[in-house]
Chain A
Amino acid sequence: MSANWQSLRSRLPGSRWAVISVPYLWLLLFFAIPFLIALKISFAKFEMAMPPYSSLLNWEDGFLVLKLRLENYLYLVNDSLYVNAYLSSLKIAVIATGLCLLIGYPMAYVISRMEPATRNIALMLVVLPSWTSFLIRIYAWIGILKQNGLLNNFLLNIGLIDAPLKILYTPAAVYIGIVYAYLPFMVLPLYSNLVKLDRRLLEAAYDLGARPWRAFLAITLPLSKAGIIAGSMLVLIPVVGEFVIPEMLGGPDTLMIGRVLWQEFFNNRDWPVASAVAIVMLIILIVPILIFHKSQAKELEGRLA
């Protein structure tokens, strides 16, 4: 009995280490190493070779020389294409996040106030589209938005418009696609926040003389702040680097950093510049990622208190 216990005890720290190490191993393999590779390439020089970039370490006259070229980064700063692409990506991401919030908040609010049975069906309907391939769903929007697509035909038939609207290959189509694709990422964190709201707080507000709209602004909205931040960051962060939606629904003038990155990498085969573009994008996104983390930590703290 006691021998068994001893052997179990001696094995326990090891097994605990094994459990903890799994996520770290995952992060190391799929985040840290690829990031370091990209970082390394971003300091290299483009070469017509295999792989198409120079190595950082060279042996010169008995010295091991590490050359970190900053020319790729300088190039990004000096060429207005990249600066504009970053700004335009951020602008599109911020506007799309705002639209998702405007549409997603009422959705999440209504779902959180449904009966539990209907609530589950509604949540299912929010998640269900994700069961189809992302690419196919975006492709389907082409069929809806194009010149003689479903939307235009419908509007023409009911007589709301006389000539088909040009939506596809415009920024509007990009916004429609992004809002459609990322809405669940806004609705779900908001829902899980709103459903926890103690209804008695609202009753207390009414009791103290607040009309429903005032009670919403003074109680519900501030208490759902963590959900708003979580949902917004979950939309904003991936949308900044979004490639598929602007590529498929946007026109040639829809400038987004994901597209630029794709062109640098696949069309120009300039790996060092492409890597620098990716690294700068990551640095830009660190701010919203930190905001997201802080709000999550606060949420957790609040739950423990």
Chain B
Amino acid sequence: MASVDADAAGSNGTMVNSAANPPAPSPDRYLVIDTVRKEFDGFVAVDDVSLTIRKGEIFALLGASGCGKSTLLRCLAGFETPTAGRIELEGQSLIGLPPYERRINMMFQSYALFPHMTVEQNIAFGLKQDGMAKAAMRARVDEMLSLVQMNRFAKRKPHQLSGGQQQRVALARSLAKSPKMLLLDEPMGALDKKLRSQMQLELVNIIEKLGVTCVMVTHDQEEAMTMAHRIAIMEQGRIRQCAKPDEIYEQPNCRYTAGFIGSVNLFEGRIDKDEKDFVTIRTSAFPDPIYVAHGVTGFEGMEVAMALRPEKLRISKHEPDLKHNKAHGSIEDIAYFGSHSVYHVRLDGGCKVMCNFVNMKRWDSESFTWNDPVWVSWGDLEGVVLSS
């Protein structure tokens, strides 16, 4: 059952109680970030963040630029020391360890490949620091080169490679030392859109094949949704929600997450009737109250927001045969994306809603055009009630 209460519990479940003694390390508590805080001259970049990351998980920190996600990643890598809080990997504290003593490797934004070294020298660099024997090093470098399918380019310098190839080398370099954890800083930031979607899946395949635990930072929600097993949405140094991609999308726990991931229609209103198995919400957007077919934690008169994804709305020329959740309006704008169109419908109440329509037929005679009078409607369970 979807409810505001369940959402809050979902995100609390991933948090660590700082007062309790740390339990023995388990695969579920592989990386523990406990009330980590980072301040720069009074500016709080990371504000008491707590997270636990499972072994083998691909975890994404998602947020707009300046939300503190990169600072948190740099705390994990050891480039920044948290002002307060604990970071533990397999039960061992990382605080105070310099980056060169952590078994964590990072793939840097725009890769930071050493320009004066060849591809194989770049990959061997980390192994060399460990004093690995020549023959073993050769074998390991070859293994990494085949993993990312870059054997042919072993003798090239980074500037002779394309963006995608550089990324493969960067990945191989960060995986060569079999790190306990892999950090990815905006992994696709330097690639064009087409290559990006291809590399996203390839990267996930490689990471999952090796079973390495991975924390990535990105501002691209599509990237986070495609690659990560779990996503934490950060805003102003805090975690707003931490859940699986589909949960984040279908059950945002606050207005910020709902608006940050995908597009959403948000209607502000108040709880009109609060019953055990349904509630109605009165908004200024619709003449009739919105009907939600489940109970919520709240009280009559409480201010809430109704979040409706555009693809959950149906658009039709004739009035749908529904008791609730329908409104009449006219089409004001049309954004055509090929695969689907987004209709911006001005409701009779004055409010504007976005409504997706999948273009299943090539030339649809039923299609809508500007100023068409239409009905929009949605199912009783398709909206999310947000209290924060």
Contacts and interface: CB of A to CB of B under 8 A. Distances in A.
Given A203-B79, A218-B125, A305-B159, A208 B105 contact: yes
A305 B105 CA distance: 28
A198 B111 CA distance: 12
A210 B130 CA distance: 9
Q: Which of A201, A207, A305 has the most CB of B within 10 A?
A: A207
Interface in B40-88: 77-79
Given A209-B129, A209-B130, A203 B112 contact: yes
Given A214-B129, A218-B125, A305-B159, A207 B116 contact: no
A214 B100 CA distance: 11
Interface string A165-185: 000000000000000000000
B320 interface: no
B115 interface: yes
Interface in B138-177: 159, 173-174, 177
Contact of B177 (A206, A209, A302): A209
B173 A208 contact: yes
Using C-beta atoms within 8 Å of the partner chain, give the interface range for chain A: 10 to 19
Contact of B98 (A204, A206, A214): A206
Chain A binding surface, main DSSP class: helix
A219 B114 contact: yes
A129 to B, nearest CB: 34
A209 B108 contact: no
B129 A208 contact: yes
A106 interface: no
B344 to A, nearest CB: 43
A174 B177 CA distance: 52
Contacts of A144: none
Nearest to B160: A305
Contacts of A143: none
A29 B114 CA distance: 45
Contact of A200 (B108, B126, B129): B108
B295 interface: no
Interface string B181-214: 0000000000000000000000000000000000
Contacts of B108: 200, 203-204, 207
A211 interface: yes
Interface string A191-225: 00000001011011111111100100011001100
B116 A209 contact: no
B91 interface: no
Interface in A4-53: none
A204 B104 CA distance: 11
Nearest to A208: B126
A218 B121 CA distance: 11
B181 to A, nearest CB: 12
Contacts of B105: 207-208
B106 interface: yes
B114 A201 contact: yes
Interface of B: 77-79, 98-100, 104-106, 108-110, 112-116, 125-126, 129-130, 159, 173-174, 177
Given A201-B112, A203-B79, A210-B125, 20 more contacts: A200-B112, A203-B99, A203-B112, A204-B106, A204-B112, A204-B113, A207-B77, A207-B78, A207-B99, A207-B105, A208-B125, A208-B129, A208-B173, A208-B177, A209-B129, A209-B177, A214-B129, A218-B125, A223-B115, A223-B116
